[in-house]
Structure 1
Amino acid sequence: MYKLLIVDDEPQILDGIKRTLDWEKLGFGQIETSETCEGAIAKAVEFEPDLAIFDVCIGKERGYTAIRKLNELRLPAAYIMMSGYSEFEYALEALHCGVKDYLLKPVERGKLQTLVERIIVEDLNGTLEDAHPDDRNVDPVLGMRYDSLSKLTNRILLMVKAEYDQNLNLKTVANRFRMNGTYLGQLFLKETQMKFSEYLMVYRMLRARDRIQTTDEKISTIALSVGYANLNYFYTHFQAYFNKSPSDLRRRE
């Protein structure tokens, strides 16, 4: 059984994360929480968590400072960072400390589930119910294993998975990494053989297809949920990619 540590200075956030997923089903038999960095370090040393979820700002302290300390102590944990929009630069700092992924607050259940499952397979060498482990190691758009891609590209892919439902583009990504957009786009294209805009579009289409097939939500609602404010634009992309309309796909399923 795995062990989980959740660190946030807001008790309601701690309770929310504990209730968001069926942690026991995922294999977590022990869950500890802390509202301070000092307390988090002490608890981590005491029970050695397999996964630790840190808020980027814990009071006046920074979560990545505690993670640096735990790395110095060589604790074999995987880390997820939670951050708000205004704290993203702090989240980038955390990535430099070896944090696997980050989630924007308020944390969405589906995104947290996806990240935790990936860490279970890739970092904890575990397995998941109703899923083949190799599927979790392969990007759904590129068909490439994550461990075959550079750290930079993996971070870009994580940003897409975390923010595909928002106004995301290459310029936004480049600004966050403090890189030139044209240069970053060239690096991404060279490694993936796909433009960033194409990758984002395909990922959104795949997520839209999943929701069309598994929910009764209106197509307009689904379009908004995957980042399309313009419904006609969504229909055009969907038809071009799947060679059928969203309504046709739903009727045939």
Structure 2
Amino acid sequence: MLKTILIVDDEPRTRDGIRKVLDIWSGGKYRIETAANGIVALEWLEHNDAHLLISDIRMPELTGLELVERLDMFKNRPNVILVSGYSDFSYAQQALRFGVVDYLLKPIDKASLIQAIEKAMLRVEEQARYKVMAEVVDTKRLEASQHSSQNPHINAALTYIHEHLSEQITMKEMSDYLHMNASYFSVLFKEQVGLTFSDYVTRGRMQLAKELLLTTNDSMADIAEQVGYQTDKYFGKVFRTVAGISPAQYRKEKSIHNDTTIQ
């Protein structure tokens, strides 16, 4: 899904000028939309999502600052760059309070505009990654990791598991690595972590798989290999048991509903 940039300005010349610059700069990488004023922009946002909003401050009916204030009503609030023909510091102060990414003065320098947009789109990508992690994090596994004891063997095991999820990790191999009796290690791991060794490893693999499904276009076979499964068929079976749906369904549903896919 293409990221969308919405340009809002009541001056057609400025609005069209910004759009032409962005069309050339983006090369089709982004969807560029325009609105003639703040009211039109709000109506557009009721039915569409924008990742970045570039708006003039001084507009009739609804100013750029008032438009920014109303963005909180939308589930997917866009990042904002404000443009003004006035070098009034109070505007800049208000813009910063509203979390605006940048504040540009007219006449707009093309290089400054592109720099501001690139900065804003980096923030969009960061937010997408945070959203992905919030979506895929296994809270039970996270709590287990955070509340493990200071037992050095268990800490070493958790670190090893985290760094080797793409490899085959068995109880015997883990206990041999730590020079421990397998039965004793099994009991100690469950006691200290709150999950069985097998459950902890599987949860880690599924969390990584979900992240890869939402942030890459890798095939199911590639993802299966990256999370430690020899075949995508077995990976799909385990994933369905844990998530309740197939990996392909998960990728499709979460990407569409949450817009978490990072292009």
Q: Hey, which of these two has a bigger chunk of helix by percent?
A: 2
TM-score by length of 2: 0.44
TM-score by length of 1: 0.46
Q: Structure with the greater relative contact order (CA < 8 A, sep ≥ 6): 1 or 2?
A: 2
Which structure's CA Rg is the greater one?
Answer: 2
